Copies of this chain bind each other. A is one copy, B any other.
């Protein structure tokens, strides 16, 4: 049948609405060029270790580290009613944790890092994906790609989230405003929100911002 592999292994697969978080370092490849290989690995491990800890605190599930990028999901494998809120609060906590990461890097004489994060809520297929030797719980579908596109619009220190994630948070979301983009391979323009904080049970906000940012806190025309 469809559900059995040629080797008789049972295959699963389920459609689930999840919140996907993708983070990436800005300019890390360029930074690497000027560093020794031990330094590159040391930086990555300090950074990834700190981020994994934050994601664990918010009960997110790390799907993969891809070089300096992290793909995490909220709402799977264990269902979570509040997955959009957890993911957005987690993204802010990750940005806040970068202060500690950069302080630790500085102690070792290593350069500071800047990270961007994209968060999006959408329906994906989850299941054990891979070959016989290396199958693992994974997520696939266009919403994973879309999260990656959203992340690609970030600058260092930023958390950008989709309209669907923003809607789930409602009036508990604090933003600097929103803007429209038309990612490659996406038919309609999408609205992206530039997050500064979350109110409510997961209350967390970005650390103190420069005064000129607050002036720009209204949606741009």
How many copies of the polypeptide does the oligomer hold?
2
Chain B residue at minimal CB-CB distance from A133? B52
Q: State the Cβ distance, A50 to closest chain B Cβ, in Å.
A: 8
Give the residues in chain B near A2, CB-CB below 8 Å.
Answer: 38-39, 42, 108-110
Residue numbers in B under 8 Å from A6 (CB-CB): 46, 49, 104
Segment touching B, from A59-67, A111-119, A204-212 = A59-67
Say which one of A79-87, A137-145, A173-181, A194-202 lies at the interface with B.
A137-145
| A98 within 8 A of partner (CB) | no
The binding surface of chain A is classed by DSSP as mixed
Q: Are A37 and B15 in contact (CB under 8 A)?
A: yes
Interface positions, chain A 6-41, Cβ under 8 Å from B, are 6, 11-15, 28-30, 32-33, 36-41
* Complex: A52 Cα to B132 Cα, angstroms: 9
Q: A6-B104, A65-B129, A67-B129 are in contact. List 13 more A-B contacts (CB 8 A).
A: A6-B49, A11-B41, A13-B38, A32-B141, A33-B142, A41-B128, A49-B130, A62-B134, A65-B130, A65-B138, A67-B139, A67-B144, A68-B140
A residues sitting closer than 8 Å to B (CB atoms) are 2-3, 5-6, 11-15, 28-30, 32-33, 36-42, 44-46, 48-49, 51-53, 62, 64-68, 71, 104, 108-110, 125-136, 138-142, 144-145
